[in-house]
Structure 1
Amino acid sequence: MRTYLDHNATAPLRPEARTAMLAAMDVVGNPSSVHAEGRAAKGVVEKARAQLAEAVGAPNADIVFTSGATEAAALALAGRGLKAAPIEHDAVHAWIDPVLPVVDGAVMVDDPGACALQLANSETGILQDLPQGLAVSDITQGFGRVPFSFSWSGIGMVFLSAHKFGGPKGVGALIFPQGTDIASQIKGGGQEMGRRSGTENVIAIAGMGAAAVAAQADLAAGAWDRVAKLRNILEKAIEAAENSTIFVGKDQSRLPNTSCFVTPGWKGETQVMAMDLAGFAVSAGSACSSGKVKVSRVLRAVGLDDDQAAGALRVSLGLDTTEEEVMRFVQAWTEKRARRRAA
């Protein structure tokens, strides 16, 4: 029996998204064509755009569909020379000057109009207070899990990726006020209001729109409150089994589903492999690149030393996670820890 506890990496496809995508598969036309079939495909795209606008609280904003948050980040950040903190995702970190300090998990923003700041961190789950006038925010991990409205945020641009909230992989969006001047990174036929050329991925876009509506409905219904309680149960049980465990961001506001904890002397990637063999999908606090394991700069930025950061494990729960699954994970993790100590 497999148990999936890696929802920050990607969330399962929502039934609403699957239904919308299956329906879109029967729509033949190209959204740029003027005939009836093309208009039907265009209608699918525009319906999803309206759904996403409503879900993210952006009724009067422009929304450009992209291949994901990475492309949307490039569209928002390229050539702007914005400042940010080292905790940002690689897709943002590639374009910014990582000079903003992090104090007790919180990023100190000195000039919002010249800065980018994420809503939530994928590794630690720590939430940031987004200041009015902020230039750009990556809301990928937070959307659908914590309240957010573009219209009242006062932020210049935000972007997100569908697969983090139950949509399909390979589609994202950049959201910004109408009339904002954005230089297209992909030249061609001028689709997406001239901001992103290339025929729209109608099927994936349909899934994104449906997933966004469903995600916002779950949030409004308080569905993540139950998940937060499960996260707390998990952490109390882990702490009882291993009192030297460090829970990253425990005293800060966090995503309701995310626990990042450090076990001194037990490398995160070793834990991931051990738990995978035990039937659980989780992630380490370190990132693998070109076959080499690197200590997470995010964990360094929030105050961990290299040895501590190397022992980080991230467990990210979903709306379908049960208490029984959480306790089975704790039991398996505790057994693996005991065997390692005895070795």
Structure 2
Amino acid sequence: MATDPERLPQVLVLGPKQGLGRAFSAGFHFIKPWESTMPLDLFLAAHAAAVRAVISTALVAVDAPLIRALPSLGFVFTTSVGVDHIDLVECARRGIAVANAGTIFSRDVADYAVGLLVDVLLHVSASYRYVLRGLWPVAGDFPPRCKLGGKRVGIVGLGSIGSEIAKRLEAFGCSISYFSRNKKPLFPYTYFPTVRDLAAESDVLVIACALTEETHHIIDKDIMLALGKDGIIINVGRGPLVNEAELVKHLIQGKIGGAGLDVFEHEPAVPEELFRMDNVVLSSHQAVLTIESTNDLVELAMANLEAFFSNRPLLTPVHGTT
């Protein structure tokens, strides 16, 4: 006998379609706004009383108004590692449990960060465009590029992603230093107590920390000046970690050497000044998006839902809520 969807735990999915359509067989009913023609506010109002859990991407704010509109909400799962889009204070006040993607994406993001750095230094994309424009036979060889081996790389945020980046860059012969909230004695890298000190002793800054009130614009004008005119910035964290207006200005004025950016301050808007720069590599916030990690994420979301509704410990809890 088929299960009545209305009798199953109701899970609201917010953001782009996540491929979580197997709810019935898993014992849940996923409520998906994109399948309705109703305006979102009316759709949410129609389902608000029944919603017990929310699955959200980083593109949708799970803020206090949304949380208050869902009186039966007890659990939020975000498909991202970062939780800056979730009002954790309101969740804690309501006793709402929160879980995130954990370390699902760490290796993929680390691979992507290294790929951006290789591209910026070795001019892979720029050389490709040079060939496409027919400049090789006309203007001769593309200008010499910089090597990666031996570069001093400073990592801002030595968490699960930052440590994977460090591991990969060690294999290239880079020297690794880092800034983090606390010194990490288990890692053999040089610790700097401030980002400015780290920047002053680095050829490359890789940004891989969480976005919080404290880290907003952690990479500002002073950090860029400390990094210097040959320095490279790689950002695979969140766009607002970098003062984007200052970054654009420093790139235009030649006060830093280049950038590899997967995230931006006002996504999906990207400063058009960056489009014409051969020392800049841009991508559309896709460092986490591999087929394998997406499949793993679906399984992790399901496992966290099952844990929550069975009163078992969450697999990837966000501490500071319940």
Same fold (TM > 0.5): no
Normalised TM-score (structure 2): 0.28
Instruction: Return the structure number with greater relative CO, CA threshold 8 A, min gap 6.
Output: 1
Q: Highest Rg: 1 or 2? A: 2
Normalised TM-score (structure 1): 0.27
